[in-house]
Structure 1
Amino acid sequence: MQAVSRTALWVASMRATEAARPDRLHDDPLAAAVVASAEQEIPPAPPGAAEFMAIRTRFYDNFLVDSARQVVVLAAGLDARAFRLPWAPDVRLFELDLPELLAFKDEVIATAGVTAACTRVVVPVDLRDDWTAALSAAGFAADQPTAWVAEGLLQYLSEPDKKRLLDTISGLSAPGSRFAFDHMDASADDREAVVDALEKIRSMGAEFVATVDDPAGWLTAHGWTVAVDRIPALAVAYGRPLPDFMDPAAANATALCTAALPA
């Protein structure tokens, strides 16, 4: 599997850890099966990474529970939202990611015997290329409001690729569409805990690129209204304050953003 898939396995292992907690913030029915199916060793998560991932996952879950009837998950990875969230029966959820990753995921799904709670449509693409034709061919309707998710994606894209992705999403979004994404402030590069995590990611062959400090500026120019949340405040809101050993400034460097187009 390619390097980005190794990071997907790493994230799945942290979701499996969360699912085993009695006070879990989410319950991923595929995570343990993904870990068991992995052919290579999955590196252990640095201290605090699993707690961070649980908060981030819950943020996107909450965003999607009140979503449009058309959902596009960019770089869907090995997450199981199509199977674990309480979707309305008419929701169509498009999962976009690399072909080999989605093929591995479908093998795990078949082995686990789980059934999607919505209409799940798999679209094998490389998001650095032009993926709009493949999405349209899969049944995406550009005239319908869409809920877009880019979880843990923008950090791995170059500035030109990020701009291209944003322009594409804006061009495909009908009035009433919504978009959730995250990024890390450039200040995170100065935090020891963040540097350790980034070194772990890079050791798996994936290049992490810190994003700009003004997430709202990316989208407000395109007519979106943007709200920004931070990990420590969300942790308190979810009843899971961050452990004392976590660096509050490092955790606060991650921006979790929601954007909306007027209906």
Structure 2
Amino acid sequence: MQAVSRTALWVASMRATEAARPDRLHDDPLAAAVVASAAASAQSIPPAPPGAAEFMAIRTRFYDDFLAAAPLQIVVLAAGLDARAFRLPWPSGTRVFELDLPELLAFKAELIAATSLVAACTRVVVPVDLRDDWATVLSAAGFSPAQPTAWVAEGLLQYLSEPDKKRLLDTVSGLSAPGSRFAFDHMDTSADDRASVADALNRIRSMGAEFVATVSDPAGWLTAHGWSVAVDRVPALAVEYGRPLPDFMDPAAANATALCTVTR
């Protein structure tokens, strides 16, 4: 898999850690299978830095809650190895389009077959590079721009160059009918000098990927293009979910991640 796809293994390992907790905020049925497959194939998954699994649990719950009130057409950009199509209680008639690189989706298909998971929605797999013309491929897969859509870009914008990021936001905006919603996360520049952030970035680079920690303001861009934006922060959400972040975590680093809910 491409380097950025290997980070999906890392995220899955953290979701597996969360699923083993008695007070878990989510239960990903595919995560344990990902970890087992990596071990069987001698695929190394770097250990998560302290607090990363707790951070990931909050971020995952944020997107789960966002999708609980979503329209019936869902597009997950860079779907990775998450199992939302299988683990969330989707209303009848929901279609979930999962976009990601072909090799990652092929690996995911093998895991799904091995675990006998059955999607609780109409799941449409769309193999595509999001740096290419993915809108055309998505439309060919049955996406309707006339219907309200819930878009999810979990842990994606940080890996895109500034031109690719703007192109993706512009495409989402152009395909979104009134009533559409969009959730994404990005990191403020306020955490650039934090040791915990540097540690996480080094581990990501060890997998061959490059995390663009310093980004422009995508929420501001969307506001200027007719969207309404609400921003949540990880520490406050952790308290709201009844799982305050551990004392050893750097609150400044955790607070630098903006979790954005956007409506049109």
Q: TM-score range by the shorter chain?
A: over 0.9
Question: What does 1:38-187 align with in structure 2 at a 5 Å threshold?
Answer: 38=38, 39=41, 40-187=43-190
| Structure 1 counterpart of 2:8 | 8
Unaligned runs of 5+ in 1: none
Q: Is the Cα–Cα contact under 8 Å of residues 192 and 214 in structure 2 kept in the other structure?
A: no
Moved more, 31-40 or 133-142: 31-40
Task: Measure, in 1, the Cα distance between the counterparts of 2:209 and 2:219.
Answer: 26
Identity %: 84
Q: Is the Cα–Cα contact under 8 Å of residues 178 and 260 in structure 1 kept in the other structure?
A: yes
Task: Measure, in 1, the Cα distance between the counterparts of 2:100 and 2:219.
Answer: 25
Moved more, 26-35 or 208-217: 208-217
Paired letter, 2:27: D
| Structure 2 counterpart of 1:205 | 208
Task: Measure, in 1, the Cα distance between the counterparts of 2:174 and 2:147.
Answer: 12
Cα deviation code 1:98-154 (max 9, x no counterpart): 000000000000000010000000000000111111100110000000000000000
Paired letter, 1:12: A
Paired letter, 2:2: Q
| Structure 1 counterpart of 2:246 | 243
Cα RMSD after superposing both structures: 0.8
Q: How many residues align?
A: 261
| Structure 2 counterpart of 1:34 | 34
SS in 2 for 1:120: strand
Runs of 4+ in structure 1 off by over 4 angstroms are none
TM-score (norm 1): 0.98
Task: Measure, in 2, the Cα distance between the counterparts of 1:167 and 1:230.
Answer: 24
Task: Measure, in 2, the Cα distance between the counterparts of 1:48 and 1:197.
Answer: 10
After TM superposition, give the deviation of residue 213 of structure 1 in Å: 5.5
Q: Is the Cα–Cα contact under 8 Å of residues 215 and 257 in structure 1 kept in the other structure?
A: no
Paired letter, 1:11: V
After TM superposition, give the deviation of residue 218 of structure 1 in Å: 1.5
Task: Measure, in 2, the Cα distance between the counterparts of 1:133 and 1:216.
Answer: 25
| Structure 2 counterpart of 1:252 | 255
Task: Measure, in 1, the Cα distance between the counterparts of 2:217 and 2:110.
Answer: 39
SS in 2 for 1:86: coil
Task: Measure, in 2, the Cα distance between the counterparts of 1:102 and 1:252.
Answer: 32
Q: Is the Cα–Cα contact under 8 Å of residues 70 and 150 in structure 2 kept in the other structure?
A: yes
Q: Say if 1:65 and 1:121 are closer, same or farther in 2 by CA, change over 3 A.
A: same
| Structure 1 counterpart of 2:220 | 217
SS in 2 for 1:245: coil
Task: Measure, in 2, the Cα distance between the counterparts of 1:102 and 1:221.
Answer: 34
Q: Is the Cα–Cα contact under 8 Å of residues 179 and 258 in structure 1 kept in the other structure?
A: yes
Q: Is the Cα–Cα contact under 8 Å of residues 74 and 95 in structure 1 kept in the other structure?
A: yes
Unaligned runs of 5+ in 2: none
Task: Measure, in 2, the Cα distance between the counterparts of 1:10 and 1:212.
Answer: 22
TM-score (norm 2): 0.97
SS in 2 for 1:173: coil
Task: Measure, in 2, the Cα distance between the counterparts of 1:118 and 1:178.
Answer: 19
